Amino acid sequence: MNNLIHKIKNRDELTKEELSHLLALDDFSEIFRLADDIRYENFGNYVDIRAILEFSNYCKRKCKYCGLNSTNKNVKRYRMSVDEILETVKTAYDAGYKTIVLQSGEDNYYTAKMIGDIVRQIKKHTSMVVTVSSGELSYEDYKYIKLCGADRYLLKHETSDEKIYSYLHSCGTLKNRLNALKNIKSLGYYTGSGFMIGLPFQTLDTIANDILTLASIPCDMAGIGPFISHSDTPLRNLQNGSTELTKRAVALTRIMLPKAHLPATTALGVIDSKEKDNIFSCGANVIMRKVTPQKYEQYYSIYPSNIKVSDIYKERKILEQQIKNLGRIPV
């Protein structure tokens, strides 16, 4: 153990076996502290706030864990018009957000041309950093959207285990997923990936390998969240993922990728928690807030959530205060 602590302090890379061993520790507190130190060295006490706009919940994929999978007939589908999207982004900008994440299911209705035009308009009228998160697209489409001004792209690999990946996704392969990530990275996007904790058949070795996968891209951002069971999906009877294990995975990712932006994922609704050891003490430095209009937000039900959007301005202020209460500085 002392040997591993020494390696971490030395900033040496950890192997899969070492990561797996650390994930299983009885007492992880020293590793949390080291991850927190590394976060502080790279980001100080700043917490980046991002707005996320979920502009369509149509999805052609059949991911077994996701409430938006195309076989779920219980969800009302919506698409926001280009004008609605631009208007919402403008409101978020006026409320103080400097980064917008445009997210949707894999919805062919929005062509690369449309997404590119939306990005262009945002770039023309605001100084926002624009992140797109609309799933797997062709190299040409990623390239076009990048040329239109998109700065970042988020595409989680979800799991790095080929068998688990194909069990969960009858609609795609791990190979294509990783290839898409490589394309995104090669085009110069600030690249984000991530994975879930608590998937069927997942072991600590799988998680260790997930962390190494992030490092292999290498990712500039990584979202790691617990699986949350959704009653309208084939995984309805599976338990939710462990929040402790999620925090451990975030901490080890911070150690392996010292400069990466690591959000406290929405799935880990930590910020309200009274817990002292919240996710921001484990290496995370980013928080995302939904700005999806209220009339649509309830239908973007990837997993059950009680997070509601009412007033973008008020919520931004509340979030800033919550971050300050944790002794951090919102930016």
Question: Which parts of this chain interact with ligand 5AD (CB under 6 A)?
Answer: 65-66, 156, 158, 196, 225, 227-228, 230, 267, 302-303
Residue 78 vs 227, nearer CB to ligand 5AD:
227
Residue 273 CB, nearest distance to ligand 5AD (Å)?
A: 17
Residue 198 vs 330, nearer CB to ligand 5AD:
198
Contacts of 35 (CB under 8 A, 6+ apart): 250, 251, 252, 254, 255, 282, 283
Residue 304 CB, nearest distance to ligand 5AD (Å)?
A: 8
Residue 15 vs 239, nearer CB to ligand 5AD:
239
Cβ count within 10 A of residue 128: 20
Residue 234 CB, nearest distance to ligand 5AD (Å)?
A: 11
Residue 154 CB, nearest distance to ligand 5AD (Å)?
A: 8
Residue 38 vs 250, nearer CB to ligand 5AD:
250
Residue 11 CB, nearest distance to ligand 5AD (Å)?
A: 29
Residue 46 vs 167, nearer CB to ligand 5AD:
167
Residue 45 vs 173, nearer CB to ligand 5AD:
173
Determine the Cα–Cα distance for residues 119 and 50; give it in Å rounded to an integer.
16
* Residue 147 CA neighbour count, 13 Å, CB half: 8
Residue 228 vs 245, nearer CB to ligand 5AD:
228
In angstroms, what CA-CA distances link 328 with 29, 34, 47, 254, 290?
A: 20, 18, 7, 18, 20
Secondary structure class of 254 (helix, strand, coil): helix
Determine the Cα–Cα distance for residues 118 and 83; give it in Å rounded to an integer.
9
Residue 21 vs 61, nearer CB to ligand 5AD:
61
Q: Which residue has the tokens 């998109």?
A: 150
Q: Are 302 and 67 contacting, i.e. CB atoms less than 8 angstroms apart?
A: yes
In angstroms, what CA-CA distances link 284 with 160, 224, 250, 265?
A: 21, 10, 7, 9
Residue 228 CB, nearest distance to ligand 5AD (Å)?
A: 4
Determine the Cα–Cα distance for residues 101 and 266; give it in Å rounded to an integer.
13
Determine the Cα–Cα distance for residues 40 and 250; give it in Å rounded to an integer.
15
Residue 64 CB, nearest distance to ligand 5AD (Å)?
A: 9
Question: What's the length of the chain?
Answer: 331
Q: Are 62 and 166 contacting, i.e. CB atoms less than 8 angstroms apart?
A: no
In angstroms, what CA-CA distances link 160 with 46, 77, 202, 214?
A: 31, 30, 10, 9
Residue 93 vs 227, nearer CB to ligand 5AD:
227
Residue 66 CB, nearest distance to ligand 5AD (Å)?
A: 4
Q: Angle at Cα 84 formed by Cα 89 and Cα 193, nearest 5°? A: 50
Residue 235 CB, nearest distance to ligand 5AD (Å)?
A: 7
Q: How many helices (H) and strands (E) does the chain have?
A: 12, 9
